[in-house]
Amino acid sequence: MTGGIGACPQEPFGLEAAIADLYAELRVARLLQQLQEHTRCLLGAVAGSVSVVDAAQGRYVKIAESGAPCRLGRSFSLDEGATGRAFANRRPVVIDD
């Protein structure tokens, strides 16, 4: 099927692009930012982030952050970073420094 309603894009599916499209469409970027700011205040933390995990692909995408900017919108392996550790241990990760 080419063109029209229900047509599939010619490019391969990309999780990062799909997430960006979804959140842009739903206009939740500001909501995620507010949740980050509120959570930081409640926990006394200086920074935090929200990531979407694709366990089947072994990757995650950072979709929101506050307090310490670090590669927002990029995709990472679940073998790296605080999000990878949080996912592996199924609990929050605290970075002392």
Q: What is the pLDDT of residues 13-59, one digit of tens each?
A: 676 677 777 666 666 777 777 888 888 888 888 888 888 899 999 99
Compute the mean pLDDT over every residue in the chain, rounded to the nearest whole number.
79
Does residue 8 register a pLDDT over 60?
Answer: no
pTM score, two decimals? 0.62
Does residue 73 register a pLDDT over 80?
Answer: yes
In DSSP terms, 51 is beta-bridged to 62
Non-local (6+) Cβ contacts of 37 within 8 A are 66
Does residue 62 register a pLDDT over 50?
Answer: yes
DSSP string, 14-81: -HHHHHHHHHHHHT-HHHHHHHHHHHHHHHT-S-EEEEEEETTTTEEEEEEEESS---TT-EEETTSH
Q: What is the pLDDT of residue 48?
A: 83
